């Protein structure tokens, strides 16, 4: 079985603010959104009996992220919030309108030449009694 993953992102009207990301010269909001879309696409393919899953990020303005450098040449970004996106399974969108996806993840990136390469992600669990 051939599994393909495609994650693309379309972003509009982003405001760049001074964050910890600036201090470590880390990934930008677009890099974060692409990585979240890719990770969700991969996890969907692994969880469902589909040939391909694709999460298209339509609006990532409600994602909050805080990035920090690690000793092993990685940058880790804690990403929370939500984004508007469209899920497609085997090439067909599951809805006509974007839906809200909630995100609580730690993403790791490594600088490769002039770009940020997404390495991996893990879910962040909320403490008991917290959202």
Given the DSSP bridges, would you call strands 52-59 and 4-5 parallel, antiparallel or unpaired? Answer: parallel
DSSP per position, 4-16: EE---B---S---
pLDDT digits (tens, 9 = 90+) for 59-117: 999 999 999 998 888 999 999 999 999 999 999 999 999 999 999 999 999 999 888 99
Domain count, the chain: 1
Position 27 in a domain: yes
Position 131 in a domain: no
Position 51 in a domain: yes
pTM for this one?
Answer: 0.76
Position 128 in a domain: no
Q: What is the pLDDT of residue 72?
A: 80
Q: Does residue 25 have a pLDDT over 80?
A: no
Query: Which of 78, 130, 125, 81 shows the shortest CA–CA distance to 106?
Result: 78
Position 69 in a domain: yes
Position 64 in a domain: yes
Q: What is the pLDDT of residue 5?
A: 35
Q: Does residue 13 have a pLDDT over 80?
A: no
Q: Which residues form the domain of 101? A: 4-122
Position 32 in a domain: yes
Position 127 in a domain: no
């Amino acid at each position: 079985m051939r599994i393909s993953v495609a994650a693309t992102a379309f972003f509009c009207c982003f405001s760049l603010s001074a964050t910890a990301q600036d201090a470590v010269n880390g990934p930008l909001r677009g890099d974060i959104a692409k990585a979240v879309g890719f990770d969700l696409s991969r996890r969907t393919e692994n969880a469902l009996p589909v040939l391909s899953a694709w999460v298209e990020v339509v609006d990532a303005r409600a994602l909050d992220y805080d990035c920090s450098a690690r000793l092993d040449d990685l940058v880790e970004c804690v990403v929370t919030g939500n984004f508007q996106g469209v899920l497609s399974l085997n090439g067909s969108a599951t809805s006509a309108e974007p839906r809200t996806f909630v995100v609580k993840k730690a993403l790791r990136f490594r600088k490769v030449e002039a770009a940020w390469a997404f390495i991996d992600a893990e879910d962040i669990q909320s403490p008991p009694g917290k959202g």
